[in-house]
Structures are given as structure tokens and as C-alpha cells.
Amino acid sequence: MIEFRGKFDESVTNNLNNRVLKKFWWVFALVSVLLIFLGTVTLLIAIDEGEDLFNGIYLISFGVLFFPLVFLLTKIVQKFVNKSMSIMSSDTSETFQFYPDRLIITQKKQAYGAEESEYEATTSATYAYLYSAEETCDRYFLRISRMQSHVVNKKDLTEGTIEELNEILAKNLGPKFKRKKKYSLHCTALHKPPNPPAAAFLPSPEFPHYHRSWRCPYPAPGMPPYNVS
């Protein structure tokens, strides 16, 4: 059994929102580029014909501010929704237990010092409950639909190993489980040693194929591990 114990608080929705924004950044970028292009064309036509420049300036300004406005609006709306959910609190614990053939999710809200819990719910289901699952450097996204997802932080692991969980998800979900990229600058930056030795930064005749970037003092794909201890 693999177990994670964490909190069901605003960090859950923040992680989901950030994931969506990163996934669809190209859509926002495309809209911004189109607005700026239309604004530029409108502005040039207005200058050429001696008309009002307002529409062109407005489109260019809106194109530049489009993504920041979307990001800010998303944060404001989500914060409003979070406040309306009494269960979403630092007092609410969330436990994920993964077994070979099923998973159990328990949410429990209990104020500090209180004898009885305000809220408690347990979901026990086979892995058919999941639409898909994705592993990143520091968490799992367990999707139950295209628009809904559970967030499991790896730092909340209390029993078992990440490798065991990956095997369970791969066995039960098959191609619907997406593992993190084995070699990622983002992942190695997150998990790099706090004080790598000087040797990690210097060329080495013995190991000329190793990455020497401070972000990735680790071996290149297919190469043996580099001891930085």
C-alpha cells in the first residue's frame, strides 16, 4: 500500500489552475498576437486615411494585457470559489491510499482541539474511477474527468515509494497514465543537491559526457549515474 497524507486547502486549486495555464499558454499567446496584429493593421489604416486611432490603440493595448488579465481574473474567481467551500481549509486533511486493485481517498475536516469532525468523506473505488493520471516532478494529477482532478503532492508520501505507485498506475491505467520525463531540467533543478561539489562544475577527462550545468549535475541519457556525494 502506498499512502499520501496532506491538506485539502487552496494550494490544490492553485496547482490545478497553474497546470491549465501552462498547458494552454499557446492559446493565450496566439490570441494576444492576433489582437496586436489586428490593432497594428487598424492603426496603420487609420493613419493612412486620417481617421481616429482609438480602435487600433485599443486592440494593441488589449492584446498586450490579455494574458495578465486572464491570469488575474482566474485567480480572483478561484479565490472567491474557494472561500465559498467550507471544506477547503488548512483544517481539512486528505489521505490517498493506493492498493494494487483500488484506491481510497479520505477527506476529513476537524478544527484544532475539537473532539468531533465537521466533515468526513471516504471514496473507495477501482482504478476505473480515474479518467487518466499524470506524474510531474513534484505531484500527481488524478483526473476523474476532463475538467476535474485530484492533486497528490509527492512530499506528502508517508508509506511506500513513488516507484511502487508508478507501477500500480501503469498496470491499471495503461496508456492513460503519463509518467514524468525521466530527464528534465526542471526536475533536476527541483531535486538537485543543495551543495554539489566543485567537481560537478568542472570538465572531467574520466567523464567527459556529463552535464556540467548547475541545474543538471547529472548524467546524460544512457550514461551511468554520477556520484555527487
- Lowest-pLDDT choice from 27-41, 87-101, 130-144, 182-196: 182-196
Look at the pTM and tell me if it is higher than 0.85.
no
Q: Which residue has the higher pLDDT, 80 or 225?
A: 80
Residue type at position 202: L
Mean pLDDT for 2-11 is 89
Q: Give the whole-angstrom CA distance, residue 196 versus residue 18.
A: 30
Provide φ and ψ at 191, rounded to 5°.
-110, 15
| Cell numbers for 88 | 477547503
pLDDT in tens, 176-224: 999 987 655 556 555 554 444 444 444 444 444 444 333 344 444 444 4
| Cell numbers for 181 | 520525463
Q: Is 96 left (phi over 0), alpha (psi -120 to 50) or beta?
A: beta
pLDDT in tens, 55-114: 999 999 999 999 889 888 888 888 887 777 777 788 889 999 999 999 999 999 877 666
Rounded percentage of the chain residues whose pLDDT exceeds 70: 78
Distance of CA 209 to the CA centre of its chain: 31
The predicted pLDDT at position 224 comes to: 47
From 87, 137, 129, 135, select the one nearest 105 (Cα to Cα): 129
Provide φ and ψ at 174, rounded to 5°.
60, -130
The predicted pLDDT at position 37 comes to: 94
Rounded percentage of the chain residues whose pLDDT exceeds 90: 43
Spatial strand order in the sheet of 139-143: 149-153, 139-143, 132-135, 177-178
- Lowest-pLDDT choice from 8-17, 89-98, 159-168: 8-17
